[in-house]
Amino acid sequence: MKLLLSTPSLVHAAHCRNLLQAAGIRADLRNTWLAGAMGDIPLRESAPQVWLIDDEMEAQAWAVLRAADNPVAGPGWQCASCAERHEAQFDSCWQCGAPRQP
């Protein structure tokens, strides 16, 4: 296992772990219950952390997180099923779940 990132925000750590898992990269979220101890325990020890299960996936993990920070630019699209409008980076409709049509 390898520590990928440590952040003061549990929401940010959970989001990063979810992005990795959605990309097929196994990751573990640690220190989820230590937020109340920040100040008594050093931040380095108590901050939420994302750990990679497979060390060799580090480069791919950082690529996934960078891609999430820099969404695809381009024209938006409209769902063929329910007519909901979406930004370019989305591949499925948040309203009805239908996949984006080419």
pLDDT digits (tens, 9 = 90+) for 37-63: 767 777 778 889 999 999 999 999 999
- Confidence band, pLDDT 50/70/90 cuts, at residue 99: very high
Cα gap 84→59, rounded to integer Å:
35
Neighbouring C-alpha atoms within 13 Å toward the C-beta of 75:
3
Query: Which pLDDT value is given to residue 74?
Result: 87
CA 72 to chain centre: 16
Spatial contact of 49 and 31, defined as CB atoms under 8 Å apart: yes
Give CA–CA dist 33/41, Å, rounded: 12
pLDDT tens per residue across span 63-90: 999 999 987 788 999 999 999 999 988 8
